[in-house]
Amino acid sequence: MKKSFVLAALLFGGITVFAQTKDEQTLKEIYKSSLTNAKCYPWLGHLSNTIGSRLSGSTGAEKAVLYTKAQLETLGLDKVYLQEVMVPKWVRGEKEIGYLQLGKQKIAFPICALGGSVATPKAGLNANVIEVKSLEELAALGEAKVKGKIVFFNRPMNPEFVETFKAYSGCVDQRSSGAREAGKLGALAVIVRSMNLRLDDFPHTGATNYEDISKEQRIPATAISTNGAELLSKSLKANPNATFYLKQSCETFADVLSYNVVGEMTGSEHPERIMVVGGHLDSWDLGDGSHDDGAGCVQSMEVLNIFKNIGYKPKNTLRVVLFMNEENGVRGGKEYETQSSKKNENHIFALESDSGGFSPRGFSIEADEANFNKISSWATLFEPYLIHKFVKGHSGVDIGPLQSNHIVKVGLQPDSQRYFDYHHAANDTFDAVNKRELELGAAAMASLLYLIDQNGIAK
């Protein structure tokens, strides 16, 4: 670690004074700027409250592109531009209807179509329901027991995992692949328990896919709230011959033109070396995407604002990228890599924020042993700011495609305990984001980018 002067204890009249290193002082300035002079919270307020949901191909996404570009231009950056990318356009349509038919009684359930799902027939569909806990259990039942029925996937997130993303990854396959696998067996539709650790009435959407199956096998896919899943399971046990009525009118259109939004501070010493910081600008359509991932976008923008405020000029080129279409295609991340490869750009570092705007706890790092150890060695610099987690792991979906001869990828890791209360649901709104927590995340990101810029990466 570079030091402007040696850390020393000097005695003056019995008072011990501790000198600070240059890095310690800069991190202090970064945090002060973020906590007292940040723009990320009002930026997020406009994205959430004025623009709203930003699903790829929507009017909201288009407005978000224009707004964030205009805000980056106010920072006096060296470059601000849009990068074209073709994205899918899926529209939810009318509000979904779902209820269990028990004789003359109808029990309504909170449901929502999964992203990319096909519609039901216009009149809806009505069928018996078969409950399963996994794709393996579905396969074991076989076509004879599945054909003509609605498959209800009811595997909850495992509450034993303190790391909630581990719980999420342990059951998300039923959402992403459930409709495809059930369709192969002749099911009429699937209902999937929401990816949420708490019991509430918010259904959580998210992408499903029909890869490698025919159009005839593509069946409607809907999510049900966790409270709804509990009630449906209980009701089916008491009334196994009950039928479920489902109606949804979602539709997929031809791809449309959209954009990644890019802002750049050109490196003062090594302009050919690029460091990326970013999040994804698109969001699902039920809420306004404040945590997922408006927070990551405005935090990434704030990094550049912080450097402007403290007068820091990066040695390497620093580029903020607001990626389009992470939620249902990753087209923005893939196109950014395609264009970067064509230009033979040299990316040395990429940092993504896509885990919510909660209190930052550390970083997950994709790097070789030398670079992992190098970043981990800065842990003491982050301790005063309650950043303690330096672990090997996934960095981010949008920076995943990015390739270079030598590149280190990192993901911001906030406290994750509340994240899945809001993830892909109607309650992912501005009021769920704490201003100070959002600003602390931006400061943590700026601090790591500063240290990488000053010290470089190991090769």
Catalytic residues: 326
**Are the beta carbons of 398 and 354 closer than 8 angstroms?**
yes
Give the Cα separation of 204 and 427 in Å (integer): 10
Q: What per-residue string of b and e applies to 227-241 under the rule 16 or more CB within 10 Å gives b?
A: bbbebbeebbeebee
Q: Is the peptide bond before 293 cis (omega within 30 degrees of 0)?
A: yes
Give the Cα separation of 225 and 425 in Å (integer): 10
Residue 217 is classified by DSSP as G
Give the Cα separation of 318 and 71 in Å (integer): 17
Give the Cα separation of 434 and 49 in Å (integer): 15
Residue 47 is classified by DSSP as I
Place of tokens 């249902």: 328
Q: What per-residue string of b and e applies to 81-120 under the rule 16 or more CB within 10 Å gives b?
A: ebbebbbbbbebeeebebbbeeeeeebebbbbbbbbbbbb
CA 99 to chain centre: 31
Q: Where are the beta strands (DSSP E) in 185-315?
A: 189-193, 221-224, 243-247, 251-265, 270-280
